[in-house]
Amino acid sequence: MMMRRRGSVAALVIGAGALTLAAHGITSGESRLASTAGSSPSPRHIEIAAPLPTSSATSSALPTPSATPTPTPSASRSMPQDTSPAGIDASLLQLFGSPSAYSAAAVDLVTGRSVTLGAGSEMYAASAIKLNFLETMLYQHQQSGEELTSDEQADATAMIEQSDNDAADRVWRDAGASDGINAYNQIAGLTSTTMDPDGYWGLSTSSAADQIILLRNLTSSSSLLNAASRAYALDLMSNVDPDQRWGVSVAADAGTATADKNGWLAIDPDNDLWAVNSLGVLTVHGHPVLMAVLSQHEPDFQTGVDRVEQAAAELSAGLG
């Protein structure tokens, strides 16, 4: 499968469970919507999008662990039951106000240590579902042996780096819409991701546990995705627009890179309360870590961002 590479972006090497992201440049798209710094976007009454927030970019490098265990296929498709150091569960409950408002998980790929809280609870996915679309597309091309076309590569780039909804809609349709995504999810072992029955894919629901499975697929040599597909996906996620560098990236060690995908949406069926989600591969305490924080019932976008980032910091401390 031929996929374009960019000389200015992250060089990604994945093998024997090890992950390296070399230093890269991040560029900003000029044609997308953006809010002014320090303000939250106004709600939009649509099912699959919301204006993009602004934040600062993070770039540098993830170190290669000297002995990262490679998960077995069965291990890569499962999450332990909720486990957390004393105090973190109470802290997140106080932060979000209700156990139905968040789903969070983090896994250290070197030590195997995990922190999970409400990990199996389904939240509105918003644009976080686009990683699921990308993996489905890459897996389908692996199975068919067909190369990605230039149009498909352009859509994948816009969908992940700029969170473009038109591009995501094309990827979703080309993958077989919800039926195609569901077929991949069944093979991948996702058990708590539900595509919206009416096709409003931003209203689909998922859990932190399922997002960890998707992230494992990008970092494990025993995943459904081959090395080329894993490197391609992480390349896109390491080059998201700078104003989307919020969320789990704040928990990363200073000076290191994060490969992430965020989602945010004012949810019509939830009285226009917000879903704010963040997931990614980052460096915590010098180790590569998978992290996902999903939230819903947020009163506004900025409150959701603040809570997700505080939760990410709590998860990071819990892995210590």
Burial of 168 (0-12, 13-18, 19+ CB in 10 A): buried
Residue 103 and residue 278 in contact, taking contact as beta carbons nearer than 8 Å: no
**Higher per-residue pLDDT: 54 or 172:** 172
Rounded to whole angstroms, the Cα distance separating 107 from 286 reads 13
C-beta neighbour count of 34 within 10 angstroms: 17
Distance of CA 226 to the CA centre of its chain: 19
Given pLDDT bands bounded at 50, 70 and 90, which one contains residue 85?
Answer: low
Question: Across all residues in the chain, what is the average pLDDT?
Answer: 79
What is the DSSP code string of 25-70? -----SSS--PPTT-PPPP---SS--PPP--------BPPPSSPPP
Over the stretch 14-41, which tens digit does the pLDDT of each residue have?
332 334 333 222 222 222 222 222 333 3
C-beta neighbour count of 86 within 10 angstroms: 7
Q: Which domains does the chain have, with CATH numbers?
A: 12-22+50-319 (3.40.710.10)
Helix (H, G, I), strand (E, B) or coil at 71: coil
Which pLDDT score is estimated for 87? 75
Residue 154 and residue 170 in contact, taking contact as beta carbons nearer than 8 Å: no
What is the DSSP code string of 241-277? -GGG--SGGGGSPTT---EEEEEEEEEGGGTTEEEEE
Question: Residue range 289-296: average pLDDT?
Answer: 97
Q: Per-residue pLDDT for 258 more than 70?
A: yes
Specify which of 44-48, 53-57, 62-66, 100-104 reaches the highest per-range mean pLDDT: 100-104
Given pLDDT bands bounded at 50, 70 and 90, which one contains residue 3?
Answer: low
Rounded to whole angstroms, the Cα distance separating 18 from 46 reads 40
Q: Which of 69, 93, 95 lies closest to 82 in space, CA to CA?
A: 93
Which pLDDT score is estimated for 88? 85
Looking at the chain, the whole-number percentage of residues with pLDDT higher than 90 is 68
Of 17-26, 233-242, 258-267, minimum mean pLDDT range: 17-26
pTM of the entire structure? 0.78
Which pLDDT score is estimated for 253? 96
